[in-house]
């Protein structure tokens, strides 16, 4: 539906509903209310005067969000957290006096952000592992199909279609490692007070340090975290955000590399992304089969890559215990990092699950254009074995190769190097070996075995948690 005002295309076109929900006001504000409940429950357990009735009233109103009231309060106070405290208090008359007791704004802001980040990482990891699984199946299916390998975008030696795919998988496995490490080591900000000293809570518990530490442990556990950061200022260190976005940015570079390779291979008509029966490649050129999904991935991945510098600058400019110039920036950067990563993975998941289309005959034709040149070393070795002078043989092969190359480049002819060799009686002793020498499988080294060996790198059981609903629309 057309909108009168700007909305991010990450919401309207690219990111999944489940990822969008995590960054919605609804999820944020209800999470803030749950954090106030955790704090009240823990304070009650440690002896402060809080009743079950007050806690139940808060629990009953977690979803009772009046956005008009919140907006009204924020307009008056110019403070989002105070606006939500006032709105929550307006429906919790009994609990009004204990909401946010002893806390600073970043008790809810930062802890909620960490909960959102945790849930977002879980979505990203499941998608990522599913892609690895589908690409692994592809690598196995084409583990033995020879294809031209390239260095400097110039034909080098032969590899296999499956082996090239394992280059992509290897990068994605590194991304999985990075993101899993971050997920496993993500901590809670905890209950730290105004500038991280916990002074307000120490006062509440009459100087009892053990109760303050127990308060932190209780709230951390209620929020589903095993540990909290032992040291914070008013906020948890923005170095945490930087590490997270660095890993997502690194994932973006992997996606860009993979999809660039697919685009290059599509231009050679060797491999294509899925192309649907009714899909239109160009409004002007009906024959076009543009790799639009891979192009879209590259476009989004470039944006994801750039967000790393934003997070680095935010961390670098946090003065002393904190400044507020991180707030507006983080609203955009963290959300867009996850939404963009989600969008990239959804598209790549669609490509890898529907299946890349391989054209073996085109690949074979391209090999035929280059293999005669690659085979000269094997021909030289075979001639050496029968006792000919290596330098004489090398010179003859050089001359014949240059002649064949000239025919290809100047006249667009087929590579006729082998025919030229067969016409020269100097090479007659190995004529019966030429057919065997020219078998492409003799030039792929251990590519086939390497394509199969990578399957042992990763346990794909997490793929069972993957659901197919979100990426079908992509």
For residue 61, what is the DSSP state?
T
What is the rounded CA–CA span in Å between residue 429 and residue 382?
Answer: 9
Give CA–CA dist 31/84, Å, rounded: 11
CA–CA dist 398, 418 (Å, integer): 13
282 is catalytic: yes
Burial (Cβ within 10 Å: 0-12, 13-18, ≥19) of residue 459: exposed
Task: Look up 152 and say whether it is catalytic.
Answer: yes
Select which of 152, 230, 278, 283 is catalytic: 152
Instruction: Report the b/e string of 186-195 with b at 16+ CB within 10 A.
Output: bbbbbbbbbb
SS3 291: coil
Dist. CA 74–CA 68, nearest whole Å: 10
- Separation of CA 100 from chain center: 36
Q: Which of 270, 252, 253 is nearest to 262 (CA)?
A: 270
| Active-site hit among 93, 282, 309, 413 | 282
HEC states along 159-192? Answer: EEHHHHHHHHHHHHHHHHHHHHHHHHHCCECCCC
CA atoms within 13 A on the CB side of 256: 17
For residue 373, with 0-12 CB atoms within 10 Å meaning exposed, 13-18 middle and 19 or more buried, which class applies? middle
Q: Cite the beta strand spans of 220-287 per DSSP E.
A: 271-272
Residues 6+ apart with CB under 8 A from 270: 147, 358, 359, 362, 363, 366
Strand partners, 159: 147
Is residue 321 within 8 A of residue 196, CB to CB? The reply is yes
Which residues are known to be catalytic?
152, 282
């Amino acid at each position: 539906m057309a909108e009168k005002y700007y909305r991010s295309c990450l919401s309207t076109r690219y990111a999944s509903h489940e990822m969008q929900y995590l960054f919605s006001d609804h999820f944020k504000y209800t999470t803030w209310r749950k954090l106030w409940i955790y704090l009240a429950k823990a304070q009650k357990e440690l002896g402060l005067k809080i009743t079950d009735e007050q806690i139940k009233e808060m629990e009953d109103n977690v979803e009772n969000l009046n956005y008009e009231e919140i907006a009204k309060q924020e307009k008056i106070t110019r403070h989002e957290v105070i606006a939500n405290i006032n709105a929550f208090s307006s429906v919790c008359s009994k609990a009004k006096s204990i909401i946010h007791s002893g806390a600073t704004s970043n008790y809810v802001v930062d802890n909620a952000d960490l909960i959102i980040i945790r849930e977002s990482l879980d979505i990203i990891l499941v998608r990522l592992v599913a892609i690895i699984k589908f690409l692994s199946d592809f690598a196995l299916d084409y583990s033995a199909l020879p294809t031209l390998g390239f260095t400097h975008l110039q034909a080098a030696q032969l590899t296999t279609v499956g082996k090239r795919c394992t280059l992509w998988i290897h990068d994605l496995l590194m991304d999985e490692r990075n993101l899993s490490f971050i997920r496993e080591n993500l901590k809670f900000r905890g209950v730290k007070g105004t500038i991280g000293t916990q002074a307000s809570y120490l006062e509440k518990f009459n100087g009892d340090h053990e109760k303050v530490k127990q308060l932190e442990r209780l709230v951390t556990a209620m929020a589903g975290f095993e540990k909290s950061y032992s040291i914070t200022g008013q906020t948890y260190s923005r170095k945490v955000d930087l590490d997270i976005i660095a890993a997502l940015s690194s994932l973006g570079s992997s996606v860009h590399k993979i999809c660039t390779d697919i685009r290059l291979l599509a231009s050679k008509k060797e491999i294509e992304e899925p192309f649907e029966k009714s899909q239109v490649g160009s409004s002007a050129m009906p024959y076009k089969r543009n790799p639009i999904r891979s192009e879209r991935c590259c476009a989004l991945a470039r944006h994801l890559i750039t967000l790393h510098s934003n997070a680095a600058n935010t961390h670098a400019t946090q003065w002393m215990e904190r400044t507020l110039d991180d707030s507006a920036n983080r609203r955009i950067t963290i959300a867009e990092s996850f939404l963009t990563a989600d969008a990239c993975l959804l598209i790549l998941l669609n490509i890898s699950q529907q299946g890349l289309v391989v054209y073996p005959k085109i690949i074979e034709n391209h090999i035929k254009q280059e293999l005669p040149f690659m085979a000269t070393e094997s021909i030289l070795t075979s001639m050496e074995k029968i006792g000919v002078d290596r330098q004489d043989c090398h010179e003859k092969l050089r001359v014949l190769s240059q002649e064949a190359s000239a025919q290809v480049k100047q006249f667009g002819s087929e590579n006729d190097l082998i025919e030229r060799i067969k016409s020269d009686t100097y090479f007659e002793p190995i004529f019966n070996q030429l057919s065997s020498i020219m078998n492409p499988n003799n030039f792929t080294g251990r590519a086939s075995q390497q394509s199969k060996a990578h399957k042992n790198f990763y346990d794909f059981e997490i793929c069972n948690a993957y659901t197919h609903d979100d990426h079908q629309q992509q």
